[in-house]
């Protein structure tokens, strides 16, 4: 007996301004995986929010499948902190004419129990491409943030010079006239007992051409030490690095 392949849908949810962030909801065989995993009323386990489209549909495009398996974070607990309430991970791989989702992992959900899903590769790839080409969720600041993040990520010389790691470039529909750049210093210490600092830079965005704005902001940021003008916003004992809390 031949088993019918599973069907993937990627729903891009854009709530009204101020009512949450844009997220990707993976729908398998007509069921929202994150909704099925989230307990009713928010009690008894993690309440999952889908990863943003910039994470899943831009950057490295992690939903695309290859013969080499790789892990993808599909959602994060409602509190937004993985170390607090966990996230939902799946391993994605191409197996012949199928794309397989398996190896589910939820660091804070020991009872996580999801089956292996096998999608027909043509249906899976067509759905991922459709979602990647959907620009309906973007607004000007989000476009600038995507371009600036790509540019800064390639500036390894600038990051290494100031012992920094690019954590994220954020854009919010609730604040369409600004984006935020978050850096960590030194890199790779957030999971250790060594001191580290997190810095935030808030940058104004206009209605001008997003590409021109991204180029200007990249040049502005990489002209010197970003820590000199950034705001200390997090970390572990940053005062030991010479950055006392304000």
Alpha carbon distances (Å) from 224 to 206, 219, 228: 23, 10, 8
Q: Return d(Cα 236, Cα 213) in angstroms, integer.
A: 33
Q: 71 and 34 in contact (C-beta within 8 Å)?
A: no
Give 142-201 pLDDT, tens digit per residue: 899 989 998 999 999 999 999 999 988 988 888 889 999 999 999 988 677 899 999 999
pLDDT for residue 124: 98
pLDDT for residue 188: 83
Name residue 75's beta-bridge partners: 50, 88
pLDDT for residue 2: 59
Q: Return d(Cα 234, Cα 170) in angstroms, integer.
A: 16
Domain ranges of the chain: 8-133, 140-241
What parts of the chain have a pLDDT lower than 50? 40-42
Contacts of 152 (CB under 8 A, 6+ apart): 158, 159, 166, 169, 181, 218, 221, 222
């Amino acid at each position: 007996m031949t088993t019918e392949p599973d069907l993937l849908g990627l729903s891009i949810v854009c709530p009204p301004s101020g009512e949450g962030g844009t997220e990707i909801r993976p729908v398998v065989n007509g069921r929202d995986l994150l909704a099925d995993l989230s307990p009713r009323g928010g009690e008894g386990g993690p309440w999952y929010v889908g990863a943003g489209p910039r994470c899943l549909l831009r950057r490295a495009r992690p939903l695309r499948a290859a013969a080499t398996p790789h892990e993808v974070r599909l959602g994060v607990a409602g509190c937004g902190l993985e170390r607090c309430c966990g996230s939902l991970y799946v391993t994605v791989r191409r197996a012949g004419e199928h794309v397989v989702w398996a190896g589910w992992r939820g660091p804070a959900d020991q009872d996580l129990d999801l089956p292996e899903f096998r999608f027909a590769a043509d249906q899976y790839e067509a759905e991922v491409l459709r979602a990647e080409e959907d620009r309906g969720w973007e607004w000007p600041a989000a476009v600038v943030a995507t371009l600036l993040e790509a540019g800064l990520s390639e500036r390894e010389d600038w990051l290494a010079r100031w012992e920094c790691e690019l954590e994220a470039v954020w854009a919010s529909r609730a604040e369409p006239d600004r984006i935020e750049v978050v850096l960590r210093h030194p890199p790779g210490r957030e999971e250790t007992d060594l001191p580290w600092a997190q810095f935030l830079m808030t940058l104004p965005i206009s209605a001008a051409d997003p590409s021109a704005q991204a180029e200007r902001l990249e040049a502005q940021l990489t002209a010197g030490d970003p820590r000199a003008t950034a705001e200390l916003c997090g970390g572990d004992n940053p005062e030991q690095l010479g950055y006392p809390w304000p």
